């Protein structure tokens, strides 16, 4: 058969729509810009990401986990994007770097950060006690005051126990929410918003941030506060296992690193380690600047994750990777879904963690009992 004669049939099978965008005009809504103008390359992937989040990940029976890395809260993205998403019920649980949560605290405490430019004289900044995060600057005193806040808070009786990181952040969020109310700054702090919405916030490497550094100093003072990261492993797996019993599990990954692995390893924990029947997360949406060919986890593709059991092989069409800076993608994604989707009922997983872990434990006990019987 002549190749020319089959071209229309093949095109109709592999294409979506003819490229013929409208002229961009003043007042064009963000949703229309994304739908009509973001057609190809990573703009096209971002359009697909917006649709995936809006149409499938925000279904009533779907659970959305957020993996957060990179210095996003210092840039104001906690205030502008993550807090509104939490309040709308569009994020159900979170794995974040500790640094994002530490710098998030500045805003609840009324400490200012400022826009600047890259390429400044860092020695001069150091001499004048100014901290720089690329093109963000703030006074060194912010760090000292935030350290003082956490040390004072965590010396209190309520913190003299062992926590998982979600439990620790929830209790800290209670006090940060109260501080917001006192100072008229409600809506400025991610941890405070998560507390109000019952959204668990885990940190995959609790010692790797200024919060962890201050808790370590308290341990030298004789504090009884302890962080149990193994509790986090079971609690995150329990959230995903519960989500998959009656619905879908989706992950929104901003950046990569340890939070990406921790949110995805829930499925291997369920399948490989606990031996429970499961097939992987249903929806995978990542914004990253990491390349896959270096072998690092940050750039690993959803199909590679599928080989580990992290992503359901039958759901690979419902995966999107955008090779774009999260500081560009997140505001667009947030504006899109807030315009397109009604707020969802809050799942309040924080209130249910003990129940969910017990459910996971009971299923695991059944598997262990069966294994031991088979080995005899």
For residues 338 and 91, give the distance between their C-alpha atoms in angstroms, rounded to a whole number.
12
Q: Are 375 and 226 in contact (CB under 8 A)?
A: no
- Which residues are CB-contacts of 292 (< 8 A; sequence separation ≥ 6)? 299, 300, 301, 304
Residue 313 buriedness (CB in 10 A; 0-12 / 13-18 / 19+): exposed
**CA separation, residue 364 to residues 239, 275, 371 (Å):** 15, 7, 11
Q: Are 344 and 308 in contact (CB under 8 A)?
A: no
The secondary structure element, H or E, covering residue 95 is: strand 93-96
For residues 237 and 111, give the distance between their C-alpha atoms in angstroms, rounded to a whole number.
36
Catalytic residue among 4, 310, 347, 376: 310
For residues 205 and 96, give the distance between their C-alpha atoms in angstroms, rounded to a whole number.
9
Q: Are 247 and 62 in contact (CB under 8 A)?
A: yes
Q: Are 261 and 297 in contact (CB under 8 A)?
A: yes
Q: Are 364 and 78 in contact (CB under 8 A)?
A: no
E strand map for 122-212: 130-133, 136-139, 162-163, 201-203
Q: Are 215 and 227 in contact (CB under 8 A)?
A: yes
- Please tell me what DSSP assigns to residue 265: T
CA 12 to chain centre: 37
> Is 4 a known active-site residue?
no
CA dihedral sign of residues 106, 142, 74, 76: positive
For residues 300 and 322, give the distance between their C-alpha atoms in angstroms, rounded to a whole number.
12
What SS3 class is residue 152? helix
- The residues that are catalytic are 310
């Amino acid at each position: 058969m002549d190749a020319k004669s089959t071209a229309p049939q093949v095109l109709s099978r592999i294409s979506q729509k003819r490229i013929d965008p409208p002229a961009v005009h003043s007042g064009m809504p963000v949703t229309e810009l994304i739908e009509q103008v973001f057609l190809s390359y990573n703009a096209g992937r971002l359009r697909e990401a917006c649709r995936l989040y809006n149409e499938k990940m925000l279904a009533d029976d779907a659970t959305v986990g957020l993996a957060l890395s990179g210095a996003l809260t210092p840039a104001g993205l906690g205030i502008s994007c993550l807090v509104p998403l939490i309040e709308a019920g569009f994020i159900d649980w979170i794995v974040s770097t500790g640094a994002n949560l530490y710098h998030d605290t500045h805003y609840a405490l009324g400490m200012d950060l400022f826009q600047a430019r890259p390429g400044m004289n860092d020695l001069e900044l150091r001499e004048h006690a100014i901290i720089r995060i690329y093109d963000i600057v703030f006074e060194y005193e912010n760090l000292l005051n935030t350290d003082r806040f956490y040390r004072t808070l965590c010396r209190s009786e309520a913190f003299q126990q062992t926590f998982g990181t979600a439990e620790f952040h929830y209790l800290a969020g209670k006090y940060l929410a109260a501080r917001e109310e006192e100072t008229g700054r409600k809506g400025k702090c991610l941890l405070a918003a998560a507390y109000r919405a019952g959204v668990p916030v885990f940190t995959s490497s609790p010692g790797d941030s200024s919060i962890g550094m201050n808790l370590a100093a308290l341990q030298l003072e004789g504090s009884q506060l302890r962080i149990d990261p193994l509790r986090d492993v079971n609690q995150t797996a329990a959230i995903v296992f519960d989500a998959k019993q009656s619905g879908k599990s989706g992950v929104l990954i901003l950046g990569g690193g340890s939070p990406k692995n921790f949110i995805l390893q829930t499925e291997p924990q369920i399948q490989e380690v606990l031996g429970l029947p499961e097939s992987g997360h249903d929806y995978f949406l990542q914004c990253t600047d990491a390349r896959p060919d270096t072998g690092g986890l940050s750039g690993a593709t959803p199909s590679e994750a599928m080989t580990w059991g992290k992503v359901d092989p039958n759901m690979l069409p419902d995966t999107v990777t955008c090779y774009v800076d999260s500081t560009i993608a997140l505001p667009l994604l947030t504006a899109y879904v807030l315009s397109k989707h009604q707020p969802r009922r809050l799942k309040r997983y924080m209130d249910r963690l003990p129940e969910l872990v017990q459910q996971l434990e009971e299923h695991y006990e059944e598997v262990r009992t069966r294994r031991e019987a088979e080995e005899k």
